[in-house]
Amino acid sequence: MTTTDPLGGAATPSATTRTTPLRVEIWSDVACPWCYIGRRRFAAALADFPHRDRVHVRWRSYQLSPEAPVGSPLSEAQMLADMKGLPLDAVHDMFAHVTEVAASVGLTYRFDTVRPANTFDAHRLIHLARRRDPDLADAVVEALMSAHFEQGLAVDDREVLVAIGAGAGLDPGDVRSALAGDAAADDVLADLEEGRAVRVSGVPFFVLDRRFGVSGAQPTELFAQALQRAWDAGR
């Protein structure tokens, strides 16, 4: 069962017409390959959802490797092999599989150029964008994931983050100044704590109306079913 009810809410469809927007929260990490795939699949489901204009999406922070050093000199393959205790051949096989899946949703993963990163500042940038406009946050998430998996950019390099923010419409001076301090750090930490509260143990994890959860980069049709179920159960 991929669509779950992690927060104990009733799954009985509403007998009345829904009057409130559908809130979708997505816990993800910009350095998570399945999160980018899940983002594309969810976006495809949302694009065909008849009530999409009344769906409010909020990106939530999660770190797969919070202890990762900034500016690691290791390759992505070596980093993962060391972290998981796997032989490099096994890691390369994993990369080949996820690259093939990514290609099915129009993504071009290049694990030979991926640079391991600590993603805390990247999550801060997403929050800075969201303070300006939720749609801007979505654009920053897309740009960060593409930078990491397709362009070989270091998403823990603050000048890279400034450029990504500027490309999405943020003032580069404001972004540089914010990242030089602690701006939005509390927002990231709050997301991490909130994720623990709703039992997020892996990403991507989608929470709909705080009643239904979808774990993983599920097929588009399953996201479509989850959206409809959550919409019907609302008020």
Residue 188's pLDDT band (cuts 50, 70, 90): very high
Q: What is the DSSP letter of 105?
A: T
pLDDT at residue number 11: 45
Average pLDDT over residues 3-22: 59
Q: How would you class 1 by CB atoms within 10 Å of its CB: exposed for 0-12, middle for 13-18, buried for 19 or more?
A: exposed
Q: What is the DSSP letter of 20?
A: S
Residue 234's pLDDT band (cuts 50, 70, 90): confident
Q: Where are the beta strands (DSSP E) in the chain?
A: 3-4, 22-28, 55-61, 205-208, 212-215
Average pLDDT over residues 178-206: 96
pLDDT digits (tens, 9 = 90+) for 45-76: 999 999 999 999 999 999 999 999 999 999 99
Residue 14's pLDDT band (cuts 50, 70, 90): very low
- Give how far Cα 173 sits from Cα of 112, 124, 154, 159, Å: 32, 15, 20, 11
Is the pLDDT score of 12 beyond 80?
no
Helix or strand or coil: residue 165?
helix
Helices (H), 16-75: 33-47
Enumerate residues 6+ apart whose C-beta is below 8 A from 161: 121, 122, 125, 155, 175, 179
The residue with greater pLDDT, 14 or 179, is 179
What is the crossing angle of helices 185-197 and 120-132, to 10°?
100
Rounded Cα distance between 223 and 34, Å, is 15
> Are 93 and 111 in contact, with CB atoms under 8 Å apart?
no
Domains of the chain: 3-10+19-73+118-232 (3.40.30.10)
Show the CA angle centred on residue 14, arms to residues 195 and 199, nearest 5°. Answer: 15
Percent of the chain with pLDDT over 70: 93
Residue 141's pLDDT band (cuts 50, 70, 90): very high
- Min mean pLDDT across 16-25, 47-56, 64-73, 141-150 is at 16-25
pLDDT digits (tens, 9 = 90+) for 198-226: 999 999 999 999 999 999 999 999 999 99
pLDDT at residue number 15: 41
pLDDT at residue number 4: 52
Place of tokens 């205790």: 85
Rounded Cα distance between 76 and 171, Å, is 31
pLDDT at residue number 223: 98
For the entire predicted model, the pTM comes to: 0.92
> Are 2 and 224 in contact, with CB atoms under 8 Å apart?
no
